[in-house]
Structure 1
Amino acid sequence: MSLISPACRDALQHWLDAQKALAGSAKNTITAYNSDVADFLSFMTLHKGAPQGLGALERITVSDMRAWMAQARKDGIAARSLARKLSAVKTFYRWLAEREGFEPTAVLSARAPKFQKKLPRPLAEDAARAMIDTVELQSTTDWVAARDVAVVTLLYGCGLRISEALGLKGADAPLPATLRITGKGGKERVVPVIDAARNAVATYLRLSPYPLEADAPLFRGVRGGALNPGAIQGAMARARAQLGLPASATPHAMRHSFATHLLAAGGDLRSIQELLGHASLSTTQAYTAVDTARLMEVYERTHPKA
């Protein structure tokens, strides 16, 4: 931040404050915005040879934008990451242009690099069930084994992110028929809780050596504190090694599996979007590509060839 002029530093902070207050952006999003835009402003200082005040930012050209993007690629920034950085810079510039009264065309016209969108990598239904069964075998301590099963069952059975599952409090137990989950960007959604998830959590709570406290985390680590995501990631890594599953069989893959299996069973795309808490339907539509790809694999494997 030392390369950035005081005026730009203040503008950046005011914009971040506005994002927090008005857009309801999540903490991780704000952190990424701060880093991405600060890096951009620092580059412009070095590129121009002097700290760039607000007036100088108004005069940034298409050539300047190309120089920034070229340097980012030279520094090893992947196309996907650069596209995210450019999006943050454009969002900042729209706000700044409206506030300062200038035309941000040079920045807004910059094209994001093309990149291959990664498709979600779900597990097959039998593999998802096997993962839950095998996670239970990764600990010799009964309550820890039950805890891990409960978490993974919530990921697969309710489509939760691991942060959402581990964010549950004692007050959420016993689990009701539906949970109100606050996801990315503070977006709330209502998620039905299947019996298997409710029973798995009840079993964990019955075995847990720690008292159920309304304001404390529902899922505890071995020392009684909040459960670290790394514990679940580790248990799943050991389980997938036993099952011969790929490295993509992670906690988030259980959420992908939830969505893909719902879609394959005839689930409505809009309903799945709401269950997952996706802000955009286009994000959910990635699962239709997965379903189509799987269908083509079956076709290629089973269709009689001439």
Structure 2
Amino acid sequence: MTAEEAVQKFLEWMAVEKQASPLTIEAYQGDLARFLGFMITHLDGLPDMIGLGLISLRDFRAWLAYEQAEASKPTARKTSSDQATRTRARRVSAVRSFFKYLARRQGVENPAIQLLSTPRTKKPLPRPLAKDQALAAPEDISDLAQTPMEQQRNAALFLLLYGCGLRISEALNLNIADLDVMRSSNVLRILGKGGKERLVPVLPVVQQALEAWRTRHPAPTPDAPLFVGIRGKRLQPAIAQKAMREWRHLSGLPDYVTPHALRHSFATHLMEGGADLRVIQELLGHASLSTTQRYTLADEARLLDVWTRAHPRAQ
């Protein structure tokens, strides 16, 4: 098996076994192509399977130095230094995952990759919508839809995202049968990242919007997707993102206002209302409390910004 064939098998494994998203597969494919392209020049030829196991830490570091130099060139696409660092970190992650796959599935081990340091990145702080914007979003977005069916669907979808703090993928993976569970228990059973399941309470106003959407759903059988497109298939995230993007442009809002920003808004507004951080962690389905604590940092940054702009002595 050649190195290129091994990469192809790895990507197929990512898609089937790990159920990685098409965007992740595409990014990893590009990252690994860059890595192998560098190694062809660096090692005077594409390494075979045995050669992949012999790549040294010095070789890996040479590749990472090359990536950093490429990002610093004047001809490189203009990106922030932090964004460029995140890209390099993702490429290291792709290569490390590839070599872990080789060790587990192909019997090719290379311990040197574990010694390669991942470029440190600053995790961006969550950027929520203002409360009035988050409250207005579901109705305003639905008003821009072309048909009554799409209007009812969008109103329910975006109210669910803000009212329950769901990821867009979590909301779009729901089926009609999940509404029956909600009717009897006032909660939704959500399957999150890594197959982790959590129960999320549903506010009455959200329940009403979901039930109203069910009455207009084209085929509300228990196993049918809850949110569907005009052809009756499960709604694609790109459609929801496009609907919010149109509202964002018309409202003059910044680019970070996306469906995921409604999840940030859910968490931030709960925290501002005095909710316990552990409760927010459970509702969001975060594996680590440190992930949830980013919302406290974001709130501190917002308070500092308000103080800087408002206090006479801050000028």
Task: State the TM-score, normalizing by the size of structure 2.
Answer: 0.80
Q: Which has the higher relative contact order, 1 or 2, with Cα contacts under 8 A spaced 6 or more apart?
A: 1
SS at match of 2:313: coil
One-letter amino acid of the counterpart of residue 28, structure 1 = S
CA positional deviation for 1:223? 2.8
Q: Is the 8 A contact 2:142 2:154 kept in 1?
A: yes
Question: How many residue pairs align between the two structures?
Answer: 297
CA positional deviation for 1:17? 4.9
Residue 78 of structure 1 corresponds to which residue in structure 2?
84
Residue 246 of structure 1 corresponds to which residue in structure 2?
254
Instruction: Find the aligned partners of 2:247 and 2:103 in 1 and give their Cα distance.
Output: 52
Query: Structure 2: where are the runs of 5+ without partners?
Result: 77-82
Distance change (3 Å), C-alpha of 1:18 and 1:116: closer
Residue 127 of structure 2 corresponds to which residue in structure 1?
121
Counterparts of residues 219-230 of structure 1 (less than 5 Å): 219-230=227-238
Distance change (3 Å), C-alpha of 1:96 and 1:156: same
Which segment drifts farther, 188-197 or 264-273? 264-273
Query: Structure 1: where are the runs of 5+ without partners?
Result: none
1:89 matched to 2:95? The reply is yes
CA positional deviation for 1:251? 0.8
1:160 matched to 2:166? The reply is yes
Distance change (3 Å), C-alpha of 1:96 and 1:136: closer
**RMSD of the TM alignment (CA)?**
3.2
SS at match of 2:188: strand
1:278 matched to 2:291? The reply is no
Sequence identity percentage: 43
Residue 212 of structure 2 corresponds to which residue in structure 1?
203
Distance change (3 Å), C-alpha of 1:19 and 1:137: closer
Q: Is the 8 A contact 1:260 1:291 kept in 2?
A: yes
Distance change (3 Å), C-alpha of 1:152 and 1:19: closer
Residue 21 of structure 2 corresponds to which residue in structure 1?
28
Distance change (3 Å), C-alpha of 1:258 and 1:97: same
One-letter amino acid of the counterpart of residue 56, structure 1 = G
Instruction: Find the aligned partners of 2:148 and 2:278 in 1 and give their Cα distance.
Output: 39
1:47 matched to 2:56? The reply is no
Residue 150 of structure 2 corresponds to which residue in structure 1?
144
Distance change (3 Å), C-alpha of 1:81 and 1:18: closer
Among 54, 58, 76, which residue is 1:59 paired with? 54
Q: Is the 8 A contact 1:147 1:219 kept in 2?
A: yes
One-letter amino acid of the counterpart of residue 31, structure 1 = I
Instruction: Find the aligned partners of 1:97 and 1:227 in 2 and give their Cα distance.
Output: 38
Instruction: Find the aligned partners of 2:246 and 2:26 in 1 and give their Cα distance.
Output: 31
Instruction: Find the aligned partners of 1:244 and 1:298 in 2 and give their Cα distance.
Output: 21
Per-residue CA deviations over 1:110-131 (Å, capped at 9, x if unaligned) read 2222333322211011110121
CA positional deviation for 1:3? 6.2
Q: Is the 8 A contact 1:163 1:229 kept in 2?
A: yes
Instruction: Find the aligned partners of 2:4 and 2:240 in 1 and give their Cα distance.
Output: 44
Distance change (3 Å), C-alpha of 1:89 and 1:305: same
SS at match of 2:21: helix
Distance change (3 Å), C-alpha of 1:39 and 1:180: farther
One-letter amino acid of the counterpart of residue 243, structure 2 = A
Q: Is the 8 A contact 1:159 1:256 kept in 2?
A: yes
Task: State the TM-score, normalizing by the size of structure 1.
Answer: 0.82
